[in-house]
Amino acid sequence: NAGVTQTPKFRILKIGQSMTLQCTQDMNHNYMYWYRQDPGMGLKLIYYSVGAGITDKGEVPNGYNVSRSTTEDFPLRLELAAPSQTSVYFCASSYWDRDPLGYTFGSGTRLTVV
Amino acid sequence: EDQVTQSPEALRLQEGESSSLNCSYTVSGLRGLFWYRQDPGKGPEFLFTLYSAGEEKEKERLKATLTKKESFLHITAPKPEDSATYLCAVLRGGGTSYGKLTFGQGTILTVHP
């Protein structure tokens, strides 16, 4: 199993450009998440999804959008990139039944906005 | 609002020198506390879930414990390959949590040979 796959691994954007960070999981997990990680700040939740067609905002959603048309894919869209969006982005998935299980994370996308 | 604070921010140990990492938390109705390991340039890797005060879990040189206010990650006789950032996270109870974790800022552990 590939687990959670994120692309690209690195990207440099100019201010005002847009891009989509891709995330795919092959574990049939129903829940998926996007986090950003800044030095010394921990992981902050951007958006999450509890299933295909269902998404909701997390702690820091401004400047981002998501969609979830299939169970496997959960892309994150950045519109009008700003320097404040320079960060490392992680996608994660989980299958939540009665017992909470740990997330499976992707390897991350390091984004620099200049 | 759920809060997680990890200490120390960084810890340097000599190989074989045992120590502990702390995770203090405030959450409304804890459903689970999670420990992750993160290597440089990689995503976090799941280590443990603890559900209730008094619970302990072990994996190789790592042992995680839980009280009503904090969790400890004990590292016994660490080796250089244990060097990583260790993340703590909490999940609140209730039907609307949707698995959303609140993370601490992490402890950077360096083990020197």
Nearest CA to A35 out of A103, A86, A92, A82 is that of: A92
Residue B44 to residue A105, Cβ atoms within 8 A: yes
**Residue A96 pLDDT > 80:** no
**What's the mean per-residue pLDDT of chain B?**
94
**pLDDT tens digits, one per residue of A22-59:** 999 999 999 999 999 998 888 999 999 999 999 999 99
For residue A41, list chain B residues with Cβ-Cβ distance below 8 A: 105
Q: Which residue of B has its CA nearest to A47?
A: B100
Report the pLDDT averaged over residues B49-68: 96
CA distance B94 to chain A (A): 12
CA distance A94 to chain B (A): 8
| Preceding amide of B113 cis, omega within 30 | no
User: What is the pLDDT confidence band of residue B85, given thresholds at 50, 70 and 90?
Assistant: very high
Nearest CA to B88 out of B63, B70, B75 is that of: B70
**Residue A94 pLDDT > 80:** yes
Report the pLDDT averaged over residues B60-82: 97
| Residues of B (4-33) whose Cβ lies below 8 Å from A | 4, 9, 31-32
Residue B46 to residue A103, Cβ atoms within 8 A: yes
Q: Which residue of A has its CA nearest to B44?
A: A105
**Residue A100 pLDDT > 90:** no
3-state secondary structure at position B81: helix
- How much of chain A, in percent, has pLDDT values that exceed 90? 84
> CB-based contact (8 Å) between A56 and chain B?
yes
**What's the mean per-residue pLDDT of chain A?**
93
Q: Is the distance from CB of B9 to CB of B110 less than 8 angstroms? A: no
For residue B47, list chain A residues with Cβ-Cβ distance below 8 A: 102
Nearest CA to A75 out of A31, A14, A34, A16 is that of: A34
Q: Which of A29, A34, A37 to mutate to test the interface with B (most CBs of B within 10 A)?
A: A37
Residue A100 to residue B99, Cβ atoms within 8 A: yes
**Residue A98 pLDDT > 60:** no
Using alpha carbons, list the distances in angstroms from residue B107 to A18, B49, B100: 33, 18, 21
**Residue A62 burial (CB count, 10 A):** 9
**Residue A90 pLDDT > 70:** yes
For residue B44, list chain A residues with Cβ-Cβ distance below 8 A: 43, 90, 103, 105
Q: Is the distance from CB of B77 to CB of B44 less than 8 angstroms? A: no
